[in-house]
Amino acid sequence: MFTLALVSEATIRAAERAAVVARLETDASALEIGRDGSLRSWTRRSDGHDYLATNQPAPLLSLGTSGTLLAPEAADWDATRRRLTLRFGKAGWTAVVQARTHATHLSLELVEVTPAGGADLALWGPYPTRIRKTVGEVVGVVRDDTFALGLQALNIKTLGGYPENDEGSADRPFGARQTDFGSVLQAYSMDRSKPRRLTIWGKRAPNMPVPAVPGETVIGSKIALFGCPEPQALETLGRIEVAEGLPHPLIDGVWAKVSPERGRSYLIANFSEATIDEMLGYVKRANLMSLYHENAFQSWGHYAPNPKFFPGGVAGLKACADKAKAIGVRLGAHTLSNFIQTHDPYITPEPDPRLAKTGESRLTEAVDATTTTLPVASPEYFTNRLGNELQTVVVGKELVRYRTVSTNAPWKLLDCQRGAYGTRAAAHPAEATVGKLMDHAYKVFFPNLEMQREIARNLARVFNATGLSHMDFDGHEGCLAPGEGTYGNELFAKEFHDHLDHTVINGTSPPLSHFYWHFNSYCNWGEPWYGGFRDSMQEYRINNQVFCERNFIPKMLGWYLLRTATCLSDMEWMLARSAGFDSGFALATTLDALRKNPESGPILDALREWEKARRAGAFTAEQREALRNPKREFHLEAVSGAGWDLFPFHDSADFQHESLIRQPGEPTSATWDLRNPDARQPMQLKLRVVGASGSIRNPTLEIHRSATVTLPVEIQAGQSLLLEADAIVRLYDAKGNPLQSFPLKGALPEVHPGANPVVFDCEFLGDTPPKVTVTFKTRGAPVRVTRR
């Protein structure tokens, strides 16, 4: 980790008094640099307001080596060549920065460091600002109500953030960071041209040898700085992209970041050459953006189409994509970035020599093709438990798995499986290299940097050949495996982007990186596997909307799961959140679930109408605020030629009942006063059984002493029951996952406007009976919403 030497208050005051050596202007802002090489001011040109924070160090560029950063002590400006020379007296370094001014931004490029190779790191900033209201940590833009300041890395060697470690990685690279005084903007480059030994990827690979990246020094590190009126910040970023040759993907000729297609929802489901037409019918009925395959490839690494779904290979997959394109639907395919599956040709029958290795040793004596013990000179890399899920080494062209390492010298890999993963067991001489392969809990291996770039090109080639146009960089963190930190993430995405012949809509897994932001289409984080439809990662999903807003990323709510038992009210609960946050989502399902769910049709129609209304801007700010509340439910109905009717639901108070000891013959029921603020309608309710053990059976409700309904079901502690206007009884487990459903015999009793006396009873079972909580809901009068 690099540390910037502390600057005393006297030094700061001296810097403030320093004469201005250069003033660089854009249409909206101006930057002044003092003779000490620090920023003197960063002002809004319209009125001279200075956004540079006071009493904070603000070096234009610091240089580092061996973990220490040095700020410049002096600066000279060559107005003719537009070059700033920074002098670092203690180290004897000189750095030359080329400056260029544009209408939108300033560009600053490190073009020379003397003596050559002396600096391992170049840090732009941190530049302290007074702005604190909205800090886009990934995009590198800070905003208040009127003005925005930003920093953009202009090539992938320049990483948005601060050098937190020698690897150059972070959980979330902070191109901007909020501080007590406001915020800072920052970026850096590292010298990767020399071999290094690093502990990488959250200590998964201690002391890993990382080979040199030829020519990849700090020279050429380049940033843009800009200031503009706050409403123009996103537009300014787009203009910088075009001016500086950054990725600037278009959708139907419109920049992706402002395209009406941004943030559209999509369907995740496997399809095949035989089922593509049926699946596209579902997607088209719901008017979703794309159909996204979970298992389209035979293996990750080479990405041949999966013959289970595409017996026609590339041609078969392309035929599916052509059908989708003809009706305005994108076709997508899932992979895990640079993850390499063990049955891919990179692994078997001969392992590629460019597989990432956490370290190496050597054989201390020759071995034949049958021995189950490998004698090694050192146990260092083989005993590590992190990043060692497959416990596999490579010797020559053979992969060998081992159970453990001997506890004492002479060191040996024990209980070896020779010729693992379809490789050929062979004899190996003494001194042969034994390389420990980098792996992962998903049972995959990883490439080195060169091979990682090749894998990105493989992926692009398949997308070009088939016409696929939607993909997630899921597992993007796997690009840390070569040991080059965030640089590896950026390089993989750029390599893929640069070799495409058409726009590919794409998302990513955390962390989202600064340069990749230009290529990224959305961040759709939140998974459905950890709870019921309404419960899984809900707080995380909502928090991500704020993250996306401050980083100019189209908002998405994550994945939701459509099962055979998913009901319309659950789907509309999610769709209300989607409309409230103006966020898209992914709906994961299967062909079987779509065929068997009795509400598939109404659900797909609801998806279509809610998405139409959301994308049309039909909801007012007040309505969107209500729609965001996860405790509220709504129903939307299309009105021919007149927009939509939005129906709110109102929940009653929670009514409770528990097992009580009564006299013989005395009623055990509870009496409740249900107040209905809406029109006369069928009774609807949610019943929850609360407790550590026991159950209830046959809950019965009597309303107005004239209508009785009994629900013939046993409900365990922790489970819940839903009864809605369709008169279907739905039972859920403790996590909200559907267990069973069945139609109720007979009509539902009705609740009248105003007071409704309700008598409730049930059988309590178990030594410690649970309690029952019942919440009623009623549907209110609609409000008409229309396209804006």
The pLDDT tens digits for 347-374 are 999 999 999 999 999 999 999 999 999 9
What confidence tens digit (pLDDT) does each residue in 173-220 have? Answer: 789 999 999 999 999 999 999 999 999 998 899 999 999 999 999 999
CA 440 remoteness from chain centre = 19
Kindly state the DSSP code that residue 59 receives in the 8-state scheme: B
Looking only at the bridges linking them, the beta strands covering 470-473 and 68-70 are unpaired
User: Phi and psi at residue 695, in whole multiples of 5°?
Assistant: -160, 175
What confidence tens digit (pLDDT) does each residue in 33-53 have? Answer: 999 999 999 999 999 999 999
Q: Is the pLDDT of residue 128 over 80?
A: yes
What confidence tens digit (pLDDT) does each residue in 323-332 have? Answer: 999 999 999 9
Segment 716-742 mean pLDDT: 94
* Bridge partners, 185 (sequence order): 127, 176
**What pLDDT does 6 receive?**
39
Torsion of CA 737, 741, 744, 749, to 10 degrees: 20
The helix, strand and coil proportions of the chain, stated in percent and rounded to the nearest 5, come to 20, 35, 45
Cβ atoms within 10 Å, residue 34? 23
Segment 500-516 mean pLDDT: 93
HEC states along 80-112?
CCCEEEEEECCCCEEEEEEEEECCCCEEEEEEE
What confidence tens digit (pLDDT) does each residue in 541-553 have? Answer: 999 999 999 999 9
Q: Is the N-terminal amide bond of 677 cis, ω within 30° of 0?
A: no
Q: Is the pLDDT of residue 530 over 90?
A: no
CA 29 remoteness from chain centre = 33
Q: Where are the alpha helices (DSSP H) in 185-301?
A: 233-244, 276-286
pTM of the model: 0.92
Segment 398-410 mean pLDDT: 97
**What pLDDT does 386 receive?**
84
What is the pLDDT confidence band of residue 66, given thresholds at 50, 70 and 90? confident
Segment 78-91 mean pLDDT: 94
**pLDDT, mean over the chain:** 95
What is the pLDDT confidence band of residue 708, given thresholds at 50, 70 and 90? very high
Q: Is the pLDDT of residue 476 over 70?
A: yes
Most distant CA pair in the chain, distance: 104
Tell me the C-alpha distance between 148 and 108, whole Å: 19
As a whole-number percent, the residues of the chain with pLDDT over 70 amount to 98
Q: Identify the sign of the CA torsion 326, 329, 335, 337.
A: positive
As a whole-number percent, the residues of the chain with pLDDT over 90 amount to 90
* Bridge partners, 447 (sequence order): 355
Q: Is the pLDDT of residue 16 over 50?
A: no
Q: Is the pLDDT of residue 274 over 90?
A: yes
**What pLDDT does 174 receive?**
87
601: tokens are: 């049709």
Segment 430-454 mean pLDDT: 97
What is the pLDDT confidence band of residue 18, given thresholds at 50, 70 and 90? low
Q: Is the pLDDT of residue 786 over 90?
A: yes
Picking from 499, 559, 502, the residue whose alpha carbon sits closest to that of residue 525 is: 559
8 Å CB contact between 392 and 355: no
**What pLDDT does 10 receive?**
43
What is the pLDDT confidence band of residue 15, given thresholds at 50, 70 and 90? very low
What confidence tens digit (pLDDT) does each residue in 748-757 have? Answer: 999 999 999 9
Residue with more model confidence, 515 or 172: 515
State the amino acid at position 275 in one-letter form: T
Tell me the C-alpha distance between 86 and 94, whole Å: 6
What is the pLDDT confidence band of residue 665, given thresholds at 50, 70 and 90? low
Q: Is 788 exposed, middle or buried (0-12, 13-18, 19+ CB in 10 A)?
A: exposed
Residue with more model confidence, 405 or 787: 405
